[in-house]
Structure formats: C-alpha cells, structure tokens
Amino acid sequence: MHARRAAVSSVLLLLFAAISVLTLLPRAPSPPPRPFLRSRADGGRCDYSDGAWVRDAAADAPTVYGEDCPFLDPGFQCARNGRGDSSFRHWRWQPRGCDLPRFDAREMLERSRNGRIVFAGDSIGRNQWESMLCMLASAVPSGAGRIYERSGKPISRHKGYLSMVFADYNLSVEYYRAPMLVMIDRFPSSSRASGAGKVKGAVRLDVLPRHADRWAGADVLVLNTGHWWNEHKTIKAGNYFMVGKRLNVTTDIKEAFRLSLQTVRRWELSARLPESYLFFRSYSPSHYRYSI
C-alpha cells in the first residue's frame, strides 16, 4: 500500500466524523493506549482522540455527498425516510489544541492506492462502510467500471460480504456482516427444543464468523458490535450462548459479550497484524425510529 502509514490520518477524518467513541482493541502485554498523534506546526503534538463535538457555523456548506449516492441503502437515507431536521450536519469533531483537516477524498484515494479498507460488524459498520464509499466516490469521475463490486453482487445484499473496488486506484473497500463478531449458528427445526424458552440457535463465543479469515491482510480494519447484545436478539429470540460444545442457557449477556471480545482479541494477536490499523467500535445511539 502506497504511503501506508500516511493513510490513517485520512481514515480518522471519517471515523471521528461518524463516531464519538473510538477504542483500540487491547494487546498483550497491555501497554498504555496509543494516542492518535500528529505533529503541529509549532512543533507540538496533536492527539486526534482527545476532543469534543462542537457546533460548526460553517457546516451549512455542502456536505461531501448527498442521498443520491448510489451506494446508500434505501433504509439509511434519512431525509427520504422522513427525517425533517438537518441539525446533525452542523457538528464537527474538534481535537483539543489543534484542528482536524477536512476530509479530502482525492488525497485519501491516492494514499490508499493498492490497499484494503475493511469494515466488519452490524448495521453501524455498514453505515460507516457506505459513508466511506460515498465520500471516496465523490472524487471519482463518472464512468462505467470505475467503481464496482468485485463479485458482481447487488449492493442491496445484506448477508455475507461486499467488496467495492475503486479500479483507478486498485483499492477495495469491504464490508463483512458480522453483527456479533462471533459465529451465530442456526439449528435445524427438527433439532430445536419445543415450548417456552426453546433453543433456535447458538452464539458461539469462541468462534469467529466463517469469513473472518478475509479480514486479515487489511490495511485498515474497523470492527464494531454492541447493539445485538441484548435480550431481544439473544435469549428472547431463542439464541443462547455456546463455548466449545457446551450450550449454556444461563450465561449473562454482559459476560457473553466480554468472552466474545476476548475471542476477537486472541484472533487479532494470532493474525499478527503489525502493519494494519485496527479499530473497535461499540455502542452508539440507536438509528431506529421510536427505539431507546
């Protein structure tokens, strides 16, 4: 990847604009978290992770992309689905003691040439993936074949994975659907228990999804999970927790979440990703109407 280390500053522009909490997965042994630093003109250092959301008087300027972007899922087009306010467009992330440059799609495409940017997780991860696609596409001239899905899959596909290729830059921006970042097994109807509390599936806390081997080798890997770790998606839906071959119907959801993150951490350590930038994103405000 051309100027691999320089690419992270551009990626951070999207991540800090899209999320308010960004946490690096821990490594063993556990050193202090590495701050996102950049040299300032005065010789000091800027920590992009230390800051706050501020109202931006200049936010009335046109956004990087609109809802006519062909990569936006219809369900994620806020204005077309009835959202009347646009106040969310008037905020920006402000690091303490320095400024965060505006996102430059052309610069990021150049810096990311011959690389892979991978998002894996739930619909929040898909939101971020689609935003990244639209932001980068704003700098690509229109033309057949310049941006395409590697396997010819329709962009509306929600299962498995999608890999969008920016042909002029040999760059792939990929999304892998993994709402819990670990394996979710569905049991055949004939093998399911009957009655109240019946078991329909298992969340395998010690096994990653089948496509996890494709995450390795990414230059930037953004993992996220959180919203599916609730009673409605697990116990009340008949999905209980499994470690090894043992199915446990009494495991606490928070404890299960912790065990799943340990599995992700072990994979990250064993995959040896010294040249990759790895980020983890957890909960965010829900993006469903009338939800808590």
Task: Copy the structure tokens of residue 251.
Answer: 């495991």
Q: How far is CA 8 from the centre of its chain?
A: 15
Q: Which residues are 248's β-sheet partners?
A: 241
End-to-end distance of the chain based on CA atoms, in angstroms? Answer: 42
Q: In whole angstroms, what is the distance from residue 219 CA to residue 205 CA?
A: 26
Phi/psi for 103 (5° steps) reads -60, 130
Q: In whole angstroms, what is the distance from residue 204 CA to residue 226 CA?
A: 16
Q: In whole angstroms, what is the distance from residue 110 CA to residue 112 CA?
A: 5
Q: In whole angstroms, what is the distance from residue 238 CA to residue 222 CA?
A: 29
The pTM for the full model equals: 0.80
Measured on CA atoms in the order 147, 153, 159, 160, is the torsion positive or negative? negative
Print pLDDT tens along the chain (292 aa).
544 444 444 444 344 434 333 333 333 343 344 444 455 555 567 888 889 988 887 655 556 677 888 898 888 888 888 888 877 778 888 998 888 888 899 999 999 999 999 999 998 899 899 999 999 999 998 876 799 999 888 877 667 899 999 999 999 999 999 999 999 998 876 555 554 458 899 999 999 999 999 998 899 999 999 989 999 999 999 999 999 999 998 999 999 999 999 999 999 888 766 678 888 888 776 655 555 4
DSSP label at residue 102: P
- Minimal CA–CA distance to 100: which of 144, 141, 135, 52? 52
What distances in angstroms separate CA 102 from CA 17, 66, 73, one per listed residue? Answer: 10, 17, 25
Q: Which residues are 165's β-sheet partners?
A: 148, 172
